[in-house]
Structure 1
């Protein structure tokens, strides 16, 4: 096989997704594997990247022997620390070439079609605001679950658990949602504490989606938590705008749930996204994307407009 291949890999806190295109931008294959979060260890992230690369090639009908003809762009969650970036770039990888950036950077490239002016707000297991102003990066949040990631499904989930535990003690009001959550732990706060001691952000994120389901039923506690989440997301949008990023695409698997809770004045900053993060990683690798049909971004539904692993 003479032609080069271009692979985009989006490594997030919940999973690692790959996509393969040829020189003309034609889609050839896709695959998914486990989490590839930089803070969980560079070696573990590299293993997941290698795994999803092989699986993506397999889906396209290729074997591992074409890795050397494949130019790869990778975006990793929480790749903020300079030493982590350097360690990943020094990897003795099997690819034709490798370019590495944060997951926010590839999402921004994809969301705005390689435009050097625009931004994104990722709301998934974690969260991050990111933009480019004449090609220069602007970052808001995204510093990890322990100290950051506001308006994410993991943070909403842990708040729901805290509220449910306190409600059982009579500190906060009880609701159908708090009863439901405590019943999942046998109404035992001790069981909840033991579970939380080993839980990961994706584990907490599952309870964030429980909150969304109960908010749709107008559960008062769930609605309070989603209103708080919407305020946090709105604050991140304002922070991007204050820095000069005024065209922002929502991305992430929690974005659809949060959007109705955004403060109205911040929704004027939102624009549809053009492509997703994996296609942004393909652009990072030096590949091209197929042209959008006229009106494509306006016609797409929410998940197609804003989807991001």
Structure 2
């Protein structure tokens, strides 16, 4: 690392994992750190604090006397003042001599910037949870993002929960049994009987993440034309499209990201449903991760737009 450069940290705090990146003022990513979920509404505070401090310490370990200019955190719950206060407090505890700026925003910011290289536009995130967000200057509109207890429609958690409900109903005889569906879901959970699901889920230390992980199986089964899986996935896509309808216009670009969209089949099916519903907004799948988007937000916080050279550097160093 060059001593005359300034450095920036971008952190994406997701429902399943947290990723932090360190970049220089040219947009070159020079370090990466990962930890568990930092969602304060679904994980114990002591675990969140530990994860945050691990990421910050690992990223700054090689900085020595080099200047850390700013830190931008894009995380679930980042628009709640009480969560912002805790994030900033824990970062300052880790870096007591840090004099730069710390910004904490919700997870839409990093996701949006990863596709637009700005902090304005419209974004849909569908991972462990789900949220649609529109940002234009000081005006913001949020749709969804109500959490797993009474929200997160169409999310990985929602898909996983519907799969468990389906297996339970098939076990009880209130739904027609689909042997392939039941076998694949139970096999993924390393279970031999539906009756074992209660212990496996309720006694898991992170049940929300475990349930969300089942979405992978459902999407794979849907791709194989399994009917129960197709029903669950189609309902999820309908719910996600309902979220976006509330924020998008005909000429808008919609940045779409999150774990569900890592599946090419899910992307394709989502696009087909949008075409059927005549939702003509252009969909953009970012080449950068939300953590890189958080780095972009950190760089933008200096008051200057991202240059073409910075874009090129971010793209070329992102996979390293």
Task: Tell me if the contact between 1:75 and 1:106 (Cα under 8 Å) persists in the aligned partners.
Answer: yes
Superposition TM-score, scaled by structure 2 size: 0.80
- Structure 1 equivalent of residue 308 of structure 2: 291
Deviation at 1:164, TM superposition (A): 0.6
- The reply to whether residue 252 of structure 1 matches residue 254 of structure 2 is no
Q: Structure 2 unaligned runs (5+)?
A: none
CA–CA distance in structure 1, aligned partners of residues 147 and 296 of structure 2: 26
Task: Tell me if the contact between 1:75 and 1:101 (Cα under 8 Å) persists in the aligned partners.
Answer: yes
Deviation at 1:195, TM superposition (A): 2.0
- Structure 2 equivalent of residue 136 of structure 1: 139
Trace 1:22-41 onto structure 2 (pairs within 5 A).
22-39=24-41, 40-41=43-44
Superposition TM-score, scaled by structure 1 size: 0.83
Deviation at 1:82, TM superposition (A): 2.6
CA–CA distance in structure 1, aligned partners of residues 238 and 65 of structure 2: 48
Task: Tell me if the contact between 1:35 and 1:45 (Cα under 8 Å) persists in the aligned partners.
Answer: yes
- The reply to whether residue 111 of structure 1 matches residue 115 of structure 2 is yes
Structure 2 vs 1, CA of residues 43 and 4 (structure 1 numbering), >3 Å: closer, same or farther? farther
Name the Cα RMSD after superposition.
2.9
Q: Structure 1 unaligned runs (5+)?
A: 301-306
- Which stretch shifts more, 105-114 or 275-284? 275-284
Structure 2 vs 1, CA of residues 285 and 216 (structure 1 numbering), >3 Å: closer, same or farther? same
Q: Which of 247, 256, 260 lines up with 1:240 in the alignment?
A: 247
Q: Which of 289, 295, 300 lines up with 1:276 in the alignment?
A: 289
Alignment: residue pair count: 291
CA–CA distance in structure 2, aligned partners of residues 35 and 152 of structure 1: 16
Task: Tell me if the contact between 1:240 and 1:246 (Cα under 8 Å) persists in the aligned partners.
Answer: no
**Structure 1 residues 204-223: Cα deviation after superposition (integer angstroms, max 9, x where no partner):** 11211110111111111001
Task: Tell me if the contact between 2:132 and 2:145 (Cα under 8 Å) persists in the aligned partners.
Answer: yes
**Structure 1 residues 167-212: Cα deviation after superposition (integer angstroms, max 9, x where no partner):** 11111121111233346432242x2112222342210112111101
